């Protein structure tokens, strides 16, 4: 179960691409920070696991792709070899680099057949029971020094580790899809994760050309937590009759977002987007901030999942929306008006609120939150930076107005918007000026 980590990264902009071409620094020479002789294993031969395996093999590692379904890993490697050959044909890789990477790809059907590895990255379905069983197998067959990483986008790292011996080696390495292109990796620490394992995980993925951010194992981590209001506010404004979906999308695109939130949920898949939102809501004890909308539940119940079914918020023919016709005049009227009916101000206030709250809880630094939201979602700027530009007091006032209009807790302002940081606190002060 993924959200921004899976499909939303297909938005046009700095992170877009075919999913094949590797980042410019993803090469054998980029692996100087780690020993390229260390074996890497990836468990799960789906799109995400295959992409991670491609990155590791290009960086010089003997890479094992494991899938318990007979033939799945072999088929995935065949596709990867074809991808590498296409990259060479297009001049994105030298034929030698493509051939060497292909030769480093190996398959297994059982993790017990793996050789000793430096890191094993799990990329199977978002099922806690299946992940726990897999990590028990890995813990029993790999050295205590092997980093055991989960690519989960929403599950708790400590829950995944369960009762495995040496639980400090279990961390999260949350890649974003397509893994071969997307620069961001969230490095997730459970309560029992060792700092040495976290640093080692960071060293691997940085050597593979990725940018890392740190987060505790909080529901949704950074990206899938902070991004929730981007969808929820748009859905609520449409339900309230403030404007139609295409007009709300137009207003948000006008603020610099690469895609509007409603067309984006159709691209992601309404079922996928709802599943992640529901997961965050359930893991936060049904906090009203994250409650999914009835409108989205109705779409999913009706099988109207977006582009993949031909109908979601919009109707699609050959992948193009046929009824996404915005009212440009109405969009101009809304932006700059009262916060309740301004799609930009309302959405940004909620994004800022979510971001500063996450930082205030000590779950991530302000700098990492901004990097994550720009690289992981292609937002025009980070929410902390945006909040500083608007003024945190202004954001707090906007939220107080929304909270009065819609009582119930969804719009409660974070105390961090109005309370100065503790001067003895070593975390990033939210309201520090840029460059401080």
Tokens, residue 232: 């929820």
Task: Note whether residue 1 is domain-resident.
Answer: no
Query: Same domain for 175 and 240?
Result: no
Task: Note whether residue 3 is domain-resident.
Answer: no
pLDDT of residue 33: 59
CA distance 117 to 300: 41
> Which helix H or strand E contains 218, and what residues bound it?
none
CB atoms within 10 A of CB 120: 25
| Residue 340: pLDDT band with limits 50, 70, 90 | very high
CA distance 136 to 12: 40
Q: What is the pLDDT of residues 356-401, one digit of tens each?
A: 999 999 999 999 999 999 999 999 999 999 999 999 999 999 999 9
Task: Note whether residue 2 is domain-resident.
Answer: no
| Alpha-carbon dihedral sign for residues 334, 339, 340, 342 | positive
319 CB burial (10 A radius; 0-12, 13-18, 19+):
exposed
Domain range for residue 330?
A: 221-436
Query: Same domain for 168 and 249?
Result: no
Number of domains, the chain: 2
Query: Same domain for 106 and 17?
Result: yes
Task: Note whether residue 317 is domain-resident.
Answer: yes
DSSP strand E in 246-390: where? 316-317, 320-321
Tokens, residue 8: 């939303």
Query: Same domain for 309 and 344?
Result: yes
Query: Same domain for 73 and 108?
Result: yes
Out of 217, 233, 253, pick the residue that ends a domain.
217
Residues tagged active-site: 153, 174, 186, 224
Query: Same domain for 194 and 233?
Result: no
Q: Report pTM.
A: 0.90
Query: Same domain for 270 and 412?
Result: yes
| Alpha-carbon dihedral sign for residues 146, 363, 191, 409 | negative
Query: Same domain for 333 and 434?
Result: yes
Task: Note whether residue 377 is domain-resident.
Answer: yes
Q: What is the pLDDT of residues 30-77, one digit of tens each?
A: 444 578 889 999 999 999 999 999 999 999 999 999 999 999 999 999
CA distance 189 to 218: 9
pLDDT of residue 35: 85
DSSP strand E in 307-372: where? 316-317, 320-321
Query: Same domain for 207 and 96?
Result: yes
**Bridge partners (DSSP) listed for residue 105:** 63
Q: What mean pLDDT, rounded, does the chain reach?
A: 91
pLDDT of residue 419: 78
> Cα separations (Å) of 329 from 35, 250, 333, 355, 395?
58, 11, 6, 32, 26
Instruction: Supply the DSSP symbol for 220.
Output: T
CATH no. for residue 189?
3.40.50.720
Query: Same domain for 210 and 267?
Result: no
Q: What is the pLDDT of residues 16-33, one digit of tens each?
A: 333 454 544 444 434 445
| Alpha-carbon dihedral sign for residues 348, 282, 188, 183 | negative
Out of 217, 246, 277, pick the residue that ends a domain.
217
> Which helix H or strand E contains 174, and what residues bound it?
strand 170-175
Query: Same domain for 151 and 69?
Result: yes
> Which helix H or strand E contains 43, and what residues bound it?
strand 40-43
pLDDT of residue 7: 41
Tokens, residue 110: 């059982």
Task: Note whether residue 185 is domain-resident.
Answer: yes
CATH no. for residue 332?
1.10.1040.50
Out of 182, 217, 252, pick the residue that ends a domain.
217
Query: Same domain for 297 and 169?
Result: no
């Amino acid at each position: 179960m993924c959200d921004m980590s899976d499909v939303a990264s297909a938005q046009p902009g700095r992170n877009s691409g075919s999913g094949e071409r590797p980042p410019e620094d993803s090469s054998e020479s980029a692996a100087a920070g780690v020993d390229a002789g260390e074996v890497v294993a990836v468990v799960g031969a789906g799109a995400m696991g295959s992409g991670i395996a491609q990155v590791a093999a290009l960086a010089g590692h003997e890479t094992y792709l494991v899938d318990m379904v007979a033939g799945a890993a072999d088929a995935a490697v065949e596709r990867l070899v074809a991808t590498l050959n296409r990259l060479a044909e297009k001049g994105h890789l030298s034929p030698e680099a493509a051939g060497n990477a292909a030769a480093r790809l190996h398959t297994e059907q059982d993790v017990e057949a793996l050789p000793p590895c430096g890191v094993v990255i799990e990329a199977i379905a978002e099922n806690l029971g299946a992940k726990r069983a897999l990590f028990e197998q890995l813990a029993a067959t790999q050295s205590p020094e092997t980093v055991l990483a989960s690519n989960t986008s929403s599950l708790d790292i400590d829950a995944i580790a369960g009762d495995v011996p040496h639980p400090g080696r279990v961390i999260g390495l949350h890649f974003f899809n397509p893994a071969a292109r997307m620069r961001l990796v969230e490095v997730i620490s459970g309560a029992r994760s060792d700092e040495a394992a976290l640093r080692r995980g960071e060293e691997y993925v940085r050597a593979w050309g990725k940018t890392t951010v740190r987060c505790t194992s909080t529901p949704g981590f950074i990206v899938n937590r902070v991004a929730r209001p981007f969808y929820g506010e748009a859905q609520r404004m449409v339900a309230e009759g403030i404007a139609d979906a295409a007009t709300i999308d137009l207003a948000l695109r006008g603020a610099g977002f690469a895609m509007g939130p409603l067309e984006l949920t159709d691209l992601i898949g309404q079922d996928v987007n709802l599943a992640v939102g529901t997961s965050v809501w359930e893991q936060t004890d049904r906090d009203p901030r994250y409650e999914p909308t009835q409108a989205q539940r109705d779409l999913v119940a009706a099988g109207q999942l977006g582009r993949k079914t031909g109908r979601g918020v919009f109707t699609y023919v050959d992948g193009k929306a046929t009824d996404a016709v915005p009212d440009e005049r109405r969009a101009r009227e809304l932006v700059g008006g009262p916060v309740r009916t301004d799609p930009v101000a309302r959405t940004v206030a909620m994004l800022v609120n979510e971001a500063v709250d996450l930082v205030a809880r000590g779950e991530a630094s302000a700098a990492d939150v901004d990097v994550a939201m720009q690289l992981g979602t292609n937002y025009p700027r980070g929410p902390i930076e945006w909040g500083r530009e608007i003024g945190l007091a202004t954001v707090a006032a906007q939220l107080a107005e929304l909270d009065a209009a819609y009582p119930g807790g969804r719009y409660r302002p974070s105390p961090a918007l109005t309370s100065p940081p503790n001067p003895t606190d070593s975390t990033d002060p939210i309201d520090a000026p840029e460059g401080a």
